[in-house]
């Protein structure tokens, strides 16, 4: 609602500005009626300045990493070789499964059940095991996911049937590629950490680029990324959204994935 009011205020101010501009144009016309060349120059200068004033500026999306680090008990973000299960690597620009996370392998969220995004390359694996647990290894959620046939960024949504994450607590998720008919001890895997924090009461949670920019500046990784992914799906031809997606991933050195499509 705050953004609606601001938008209306901006719109009204533009109407007032335009009305003032019409009066100014009439004054210019009366003053320079007998001097066509001067009239044309004056109108051109005025219209150019009006365009500069009313052109909106886009919020830049740059992630500000928080001080939180992944727990020291973490065994790492991936197995030694997160293989593509025998796929032809010439078919993809990225050779391994990659979590969309900052380099410290942990992201903050204000959501009770955040969305996890993972890059899946071309792979012969048809399914993967996704699980979520707390620092005491208590299992929160576990499911078998079908893998996409094409490479790209996959979303993993935690359903409402799962208990809400607690604020101030760390949770570890993992994705294990099932390369054969059954899960094996040496199956390739990746993992990442989630820490839920208190939400800022001043945030307007309507999905906008302004919200994404605010969340990124506050270091709220999962929500800024998932909100931007939502905007990419609903506005596939919006160049500002596409640019913001690239800016956000580039700011955490995920440049190689920045141009990959969302695939589910």
* Domain edges within the chain: 2-54, 89-257
Average pLDDT over residues 183-195: 89
Other C-beta atoms within 10 Å of 126: how many? Answer: 13
Check: CB of residue 114 under 8 Å from CB of residue 195.
Answer: no
Check: CB of residue 258 under 8 Å from CB of residue 229.
Answer: no
Q: Is 26 exposed, middle or buried (0-12, 13-18, 19+ CB in 10 A)?
A: exposed
Of 124 and 82, the structure prediction assigns the larger pLDDT to 124
* Radius of gyration for the alpha carbons in the chain, expressed in angstroms and rounded: 25
pLDDT (0 to 100) of residue 84: 65
User: If you average pLDDT over every residue of the chain, what do you get?
Assistant: 79
SS3 at position 210: helix
* DSSP for residue 245: H
pLDDT (0 to 100) of residue 5: 34
Average pLDDT over residues 222-241: 96
pLDDT (0 to 100) of residue 51: 41
Is pLDDT above 50 for 190? yes
Note the CATH architecture for domain 89-257.
Sandwich (2.60)
pLDDT (0 to 100) of residue 2: 34
Q: Global pTM?
A: 0.74
Quick: pLDDT tens for 54-110: 334 456 788 998 888 888 755 445 554 555 676 655 554 555 899 999 999 999 999
Is pLDDT above 90 for 111? yes
pLDDT (0 to 100) of residue 244: 96
């Amino acid at each position: 609602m705050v953004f609606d009011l601001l938008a209306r205020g901006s719109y009204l101010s533009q109407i007032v500005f335009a009305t003032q501009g019409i009066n100014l144009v009439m004054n210019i016309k009366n003053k320079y009626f007998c001097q066509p060349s001067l009239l044309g120059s004056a109108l051109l200068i005025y219209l150019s300045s009006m365009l500069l004033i009313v052109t909106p500026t886009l919020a830049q999306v740059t992630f500000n990493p928080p001080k939180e680090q992944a727990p020291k008990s973490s065994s790492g973000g991936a197995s030694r070789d997160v293989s593509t299960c025998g796929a032809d690597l010439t078919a993809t620009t990225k050779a391994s499964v990659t979590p969309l996370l900052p380099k410290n392998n942990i992201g903050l969220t204000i959501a009770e059940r955040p969305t996890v995004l993972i890059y899946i390359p071309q792979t012969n694996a048809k399914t993967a095991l996704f699980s979520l647990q707390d620092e005491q290894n208590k299992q929160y959620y576990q499911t078998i996911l079908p893998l996409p046939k094409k490479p790209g960024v996959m979303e993993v949504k935690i359903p409402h049937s799962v208990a809400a994450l607690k604020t101030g607590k760390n949770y570890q998720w993992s994705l294990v590629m099932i390369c054969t008919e059954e899960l094996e001890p040496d199956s390739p895997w990746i993992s990442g950490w989630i820490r839920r924090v208190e939400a800022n009461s001043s945030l307007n949670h309507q999905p906008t680029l302004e919200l994404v920019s605010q969340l990124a500046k506050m270091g709220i990784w999962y929500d800024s990324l998932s909100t931007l992914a939502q905007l990419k799906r609903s506005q596939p031809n919006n160049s500002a959204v596409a640019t913001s997606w690239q800016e956000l991933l580039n700011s955490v050195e995920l440049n190689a994935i920045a141009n990959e499509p969302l695939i589910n």
